[in-house]
Amino acid sequence: MNSGSVSLTLSVRSGTPAGPIAARTRLTLAALCVALLAACEAGPDADGKWSSLEERPQGRLEALRVQADVARNRLWVLRGDGVDVYEISTRRRIGRIGMFVGEPSDCAPDLALDSSGAAIVSSNVRTVLWRLDPERFEARRQALARDTDRQKVVGFTGLAFADGVLFGVDAMRGSLWKIDLAAGKAEKLALSSPVRGACGLVRQNPAQSVGRSVVLCAVSKNGTRRIDVSPDLTRADVSEGPCS
């Protein structure tokens, strides 16, 4: 673990073409913060002002993904060469996990946080996940056994937890998978249409869902697609448009 009293300025990269974030997508600000996993949830300073997070003296930091764990006062930043962990309140780096997870692709790997505060990091070209311990800042690699498409190249460009279940989306093939971390396996859902180009995945606010259904939002540079998952988590209907 490496630590230091550095702060950050984040230049978020989602796998879409370079340029200002607002120019890359027409999503609402709220959807943009979640879908592109920017540091919008880091919150203002104690004086109520929103200060940038800036890394010195190295200069700007390009982040592939960012997740805020407000309850534990942590900000997880996925970069091409590893993951940095910061205290939200102080902007101080408290952990560093060196790892290489990405390959040149239209969409980056993803990072999601589980209920214990651990980070789950994907590869965008392999069905491999890493679990990053939130206390020791150590990575444990786990290759997943697929129930189908075993001879195809599959990676996860979007991860999202819903009711304790982890889902992963593959931008290249447009497939959606239910991931069992304990068993080390991934099961492909039958979709009404593929979600190709999905560079992010987020669960719709449960308050907006009907009954106990799970609704996921697949995010791409062209907008969002709504994924209504069946109660048995084996299939899903995909529709164009916002998830709200």
Please give the full DSSP string across 184-239, using - where no structure is assigned: TEEEEPEESS--TT--EEEEPPGGGSSTT-EEEEEEETTEEEEEEE-TTSSEEEEE
Contact 200, 158 (CB under 8 A): yes
Would you state the pLDDT for residue 24?
A: 27
Contact 78, 64 (CB under 8 A): yes
Contact 134, 118 (CB under 8 A): yes
Would you state the pLDDT for residue 104?
A: 66
Interatomic CA distance for residues 160 and 11, integer angstroms: 22
- pLDDT in single tens digits along all 244 residues of the chain: 333 333 333 434 433 322 222 222 222 223 333 333 333 333 333 333 333 343 433 444 478 999 999 999 999 999 988 999 999 999 999 999 998 877 767 899 999 999 999 999 999 999 999 999 999 999 999 999 999 988 898 999 999 999 999 999 999 999 999 999 999 999 999 999 999 999 999 998 876 666 668 999 999 988 899 999 999 999 999 999 777 6
CA-to-CA dists, residue 94 to 12, 76, 86, 105, 180, angstroms: 20, 10, 5, 30, 29
| Domains of the chain by residue range | 10-240
For 10-240, give the CATH class: mainly beta
Query: What pTM was estimated for this model as a whole?
Result: 0.77
Radius of gyration (C-alpha) of the chain in whole angstroms: 17
